[in-house]
Amino acid sequence: MSAAADALNYTPSAISQQIATLEREAGVALVERGPRSVTLTDAGRALVEHTAIILQRLEDAETEIRAIAGLEGGRLRLATFRTAAETVMADAVRLFHKLYPEVELTLTEGEPEEYLPQLVGGGFDLALTFEYDTVRALRFESLEQVQLLEDPMDIMVPADHPAAADEAIDLEQLSDESWVGSTSSSSVHEFTVNVCRSAGFEPRISFETDDYHVAQALVAGGVGVAFLPRLSMRTIHPGIEVRPMAQPAPKRRIFAVFRTGGARSPAVKAMLEVLSRVSAAVDPAPDLEVHDLQSAETVERPAP
């Protein structure tokens, strides 16, 4: 008792009182007090053995927490839609891994309608989503979002289409065409209809797909025309031509989304910074070119 008191800077009587309190809570004697010594009971020895394990686990937990805070451990679960998966998110994952190789990254591709409810429920830590002009956006009260960039929508037509020779296409030129639109399961199903209606006609949507590569193949086959977000133009089918609209181009805005307060997580905060830098380097400019990532790659890992 005296040695414990010296080690903890308590009086021997205070240690004795603490042991007595512990015995009352445990409902069993933990020490046997003799005239000149104190020895552990079987219950006392069991408690000491477990205490050693508990203290080690607490020390391990503190070490892991410090590692996560310093981005030297932990995990970050990501979700994204397809167009951003092969552009913004792929570049961000590559750069984040270069800066923080100790953080475990996972990535799931899908549609915002599928993974945003999982983000709300804790299944993901951060996701990318979008909203289109003229289309009601998905909203969840428990999520915060940060806009990364605006992505203009252009028009793709078959390479031999008369409008392919124009610098810009007036939508009214395509009022008699068949259109490729999104499926009814997508939040952007109404986009093609709403934009064409604003130009004064009702589009005839003959084909529906949520994959812009499939849409390009259909347009290249000469069966219709379609809108195409400029960010998806890293790969262009040789059988199509892409032109801006003569009217003000509708846009989609791309956001990073996370649970309210989630930016306090070191990994989420770091990924938001990386996504911001990558998005600044990806420029859906009027010349339809995408800049390289040299400016984003020069980022240095911040000091802990």
CATH number at residue 268: 3.40.190.10
Report how far residue 154's alpha carbon sits from residue 150's, in angstroms, rounded to the nearest whole number: 13
Residues 262 and 130 in one domain: yes
Last residue of a domain, one of 13, 37, 69: 69
* pLDDT at residue number 153: 92
* pLDDT at residue number 286: 43
CATH code at 31? 1.10.10.10
* pLDDT at residue number 292: 38
Q: Any residues with CB less than 8 A from the CB of 95 and at least 6 apart, and which?
A: 274, 277, 278, 293, 296, 297, 299
Tell me, yes or no, whether 118 lies in a domain: yes
* pLDDT at residue number 194: 92
Residues 169 and 25 in one domain: no
* pLDDT at residue number 64: 64
Express each pLDDT in 64-98 by its tens digit: 676 666 787 888 999 999 889 888 999 999 999 99
Report how far residue 279's alpha carbon sits from residue 146's, in angstroms, rounded to the nearest whole number: 12
Residues 80 and 58 in one domain: no
Residues 188 and 247 in one domain: yes
How many domains in the chain? 3
Report how far residue 274's alpha carbon sits from residue 99's, in angstroms, rounded to the nearest whole number: 9
* pLDDT at residue number 67: 62
* pLDDT at residue number 15: 84
CA distances from 158 to 155, 215, 223, 291 (A): 10, 11, 8, 26
Tell me, yes or no, whether 81 lies in a domain: yes
* pLDDT at residue number 72: 76
* pLDDT at residue number 66: 66
Tell me, yes or no, whether 304 lies in a domain: no
Global confidence as pTM = 0.70
Q: What is the maximum span of the chain, computed from C-alpha positions, in angstroms? A: 107
Tell me, yes or no, whether 57 lies in a domain: yes
Report how far residue 111's alpha carbon sits from residue 103's, in angstroms, rounded to the nearest whole number: 25
Last residue of a domain, one of 23, 46, 69: 69
Last residue of a domain, one of 10, 34, 69: 69
Tell me, yes or no, whether 177 lies in a domain: yes
The vertex-151 CA angle with 145 and 154, nearest 5°, equals: 150
Nearest Cα to 232, choosing from 256, 257, 211, 206? 211
* pLDDT at residue number 288: 39
* pLDDT at residue number 201: 95
Residues 133 and 158 in one domain: no
Range of 131's domain?
A: 75-143+257-297
Tokens 């037509």: give the residue: 157
Residues 63 and 95 in one domain: no
SS3 for the chain, per residue?
A: CHHHHHHHCCCHHHHHHHHHHHHHHHCCCCEEECCCCEEECHHHHHHHHHHHHHHHHHHHHHHHHHHHHCCCCCEEEEEECHHHHHHHHHHHHHHHHHHCCCCEEEEEECCHHHHHHHHHCCCCCEEEEEEECCCCCCCCCCEEEEEEEEEEEEEEEECCCHHHHCCCECHHHHCCCEEEECCCCCCCCCHHHHHHHHCCCCCEEEEECCCHHHHHHHHHCCCCEEEEEHHHCCCCCCCEEEECECCCCCEEEEEEEEECCHHHCHHHHHHHHHHHHHHHHCCCCCCCCCCCCHHHHCCCCCCC
Tell me, yes or no, whether 178 lies in a domain: yes
Express each pLDDT in 192-237 by its tens digit: 999 999 999 999 999 999 889 999 999 999 999 999 999 888 789 9
Tell me, yes or no, whether 303 lies in a domain: no
Residues of the chain with pLDDT under 70: 60, 62-64, 66-69, 283-304
Residues 29 and 65 in one domain: yes
* pLDDT at residue number 282: 77
Residues 112 and 58 in one domain: no
Q: Are 79 and 92 in contact (CB under 8 A)?
A: no
CA distances from 222 to 39, 174, 277 (A): 91, 13, 39
Tell me, yes or no, whether 302 lies in a domain: no
